């Protein structure tokens, strides 16, 4: 009986570790330009898993931070060019 309880506990622990490892791997994967654009435009819902994954990844990835910054600069350039063309 004790062996069965221990086996169930170990299996549950292994499943929890696997779940955590999958989350870590997902957070380390860089976002696509499409995902960055959706985030920048406010299309990702804050209670959505994709939003939370993006935010967590953005906190650790300088490359994606720079890519998001480039999206912002692109908008600044468009605003500048359209405001001067009037």
Residue spans per domain, the chain = 2-84
pTM: 0.57
Tell me if 17 sits within 8 A of 11, measured CB to CB.
Answer: no
Write the pLDDT tens digit of every residue in 55-73.
888 888 999 999 898 887 7
Q: Is residue 38 pLDDT above 60, yes or no?
A: yes
Q: Is residue 48 pLDDT above 60, yes or no?
A: yes
75 pLDDT band (50/70/90 cuts)?
low
pLDDT at res. 37: 86
Q: Which residues of 29-59 are buried (b: 16+ CB within 10 A; e: fewer)?
A: eebeeebbebbeeeebeeeeeebebbeebbe
């Amino acid at each position: 009986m004790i062996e069965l309880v221990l086996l169930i506990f170990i299996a549950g622990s292994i499943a929890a570790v696997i779940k955590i490892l999958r989350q870590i791997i997902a957070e380390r994967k860089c976002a696509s330009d499409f995902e960055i654009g959706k985030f920048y435009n406010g299309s990702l819902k804050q209670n959505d898993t994709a939003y939370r994954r993006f935010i967590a990844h953005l906190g650790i990835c300088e490359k994606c931070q720079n890519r998001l910054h480039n999206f912002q600069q692109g908008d600044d350039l468009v605003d500048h060019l359209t405001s001067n063309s009037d």
